[in-house]
Amino acid sequence: MRKRIPLLRNRHLVQRLGFSLLTLMAALTVLPIIGVVLFIIKEGLPAISWEFLTAMPREGMRAGGILPAIVGTLYLTLGTAIFSVPLGVAAAIYLAEYAPENRLTRLIRIAIINLAGIPSVVYGLFGLGLFVLFLRFGTSILSASLTLSIMTLPVIISAAEEALRAVPQAFRTVSISLGATRWQTIRRIVLPQAMPGIITGIILGLERAAGETAPILFTGAAFFLPRLPHTPFDATMALPYHLFVISTQVPEMPFQIQYGTALVLIVFVLSMNLIATIIRSRARARRQW
């Protein structure tokens, strides 16, 4: 007679159960994401019209378009790029090409990890304290962009450093042996090779900045401003903050406008995500090393 194996001793059965459980967990994690995106597209699409994208809000934001919010988010994203890209890429070059392996470098790395972990609302407080009040930039695009830049910095530095480190050492050795200086080697050889990775990191960093609300709450966001900002010292409406305002602060807000705004925001953010993914996979396919 065959001896019965206790249920949980049967390791192949356990494996099958375990794998099913993990598959189920992965599905429960991923399916809601698809659901959320499809739901917003479905509910928001009817609101999208030429007027919605290009007109000023009217009737206490309950009608008209969201142009100032779209333009504001564009300005903030550009402003963030102006400050964070040069600084972030230069810092990454330092870490990847110059930094010695010592205590100080380790401290820099810990600082980067910490910057990445600081709550976004704390960045908002910092921006309020330093840029708005201490430096007297006021509630403005400038203050908000600077605040978002510092928040974006760790993302750009880590991604760019990784891209630079991925360039094989042989490239540098050959360049130096041909008589190029260290900077010429970095500028002409290493940077171009690492460029797709760096750009991907920049876009992912800016994507995060474009979708953030908490850091701009008290540094640059305007509740309602039915005109486009003229100078960097103007406050501005922004898509994420506008979505927050119309979904919590304005009574009797038509659902369609809320979903429409959410749709424009996620299209803005996810198209950046998509561009980054495409650049990365094309560069990976073309890479010869």
Partner 1 sequence: MNETLSWKEYLITRAIKVTGYSAIVFVVLIFFFLLREGLPTLAEVPLSTLFSIRWYPIEGYYGILPLLSGSLIVTLGAALIAIPFGIGTAIYIAEIAPRWMREILKPLVELLGGLPSVVLGFLGILVLSPFLRRLLDLPTGLTAFTGSLLLGGIAIPTVVSIAEDALDAVPRSYREAALALGATHWQTIWRVTLPAARSGVLTAVMLGVGRAIGETMTVMMVTGNAPVLATSPGALFSPVRTMTATIAAEMGEVAGGSVHYHVLFFIGLVLFLISLAVNVTASAIVFRTRTRAERILS
Residue 1 or 214 with smaller CB distance to partner 1: 214
**Residue 159 contacts residue 205 (beta carbons within 8 Å):** yes
Q: Which stretch binds partner 1 (CB under 8 A): 48-56, 60-68, 93-101, 168-176?
A: 93-101
Q: Which stretch binds partner 1 (CB under 8 A): 49-57, 192-200, 226-234, 238-246?
A: 238-246
Could you say which of 55, 64, 82, 126 contacts partner 1 (CB under 8 A)?
126
Residue 50 or 134 with smaller CB distance to partner 1: 134
224 binds partner 1 (CB under 8 A): no
Residue 1 or 117 with smaller CB distance to partner 1: 117
216 binds partner 1 (CB under 8 A): no
Give the 3-state secondary structure of residue 117.
Answer: helix
278 binds partner 1 (CB under 8 A): no
118 binds partner 1 (CB under 8 A): yes
Residue 1 or 29 with smaller CB distance to partner 1: 29
| Minimum distance, C-beta of residue 95 to partner 1, in the bound complex (Å) | 6
Could you say which of 76, 85, 144, 217 contacts partner 1 (CB under 8 A)?
217
250 binds partner 1 (CB under 8 A): no
**Number of helices (H), then strands (E), in the chain:** 11, 2
Q: Is 80 exposed, middle or buried (0-12, 13-18, 19+ CB in 10 A)?
A: buried
Q: What DSSP string describes 153-183?
A: HHHHHHHHHHHHHHS-HHHHHHHHHTT--HH
Ramachandran angles phi, psi of 64, nearest 5°: 80, -155
Give me the residue label for tokens 């993914």: 277
Residue 230 or 242 with smaller CB distance to partner 1: 242
45 binds partner 1 (CB under 8 A): no
Residue 46 or 119 with smaller CB distance to partner 1: 119
271 binds partner 1 (CB under 8 A): no
Residues paired with residue 58 on neighbouring β-strands, in sequence order: 63
Euclidean distance between CA atoms 62 and 109, whole angstroms: 47
User: For partner 1, what does the binding mask look like between residues 166 and 205, x meaning CB under 8 A?
Assistant: ---------------xxxx-------------------x-
**Cα 267 from chain centre:** 13
Residue 34 or 230 with smaller CB distance to partner 1: 34
> How many residues form the binding site for partner 1 (CB under 8 A)?
89
Give the 3-state secondary structure of residue 10.
Answer: coil
Closest CA to 263 of 76, 31, 30, 47: 47
Looking only at residues 14 through 43 of this chain, which bind partner 1 when binding is defined by CB under 8 A? 14-15, 18-19, 21-23, 25-26, 28-30, 32-34, 36-37, 39-40
Q: Which residues contact 118 (CB under 8 A, 6 or more apart)?
A: 151
Residues paired with residue 57 on neighbouring β-strands, in sequence order: 64
Closest CA to 65 of 52, 80, 78, 77: 52
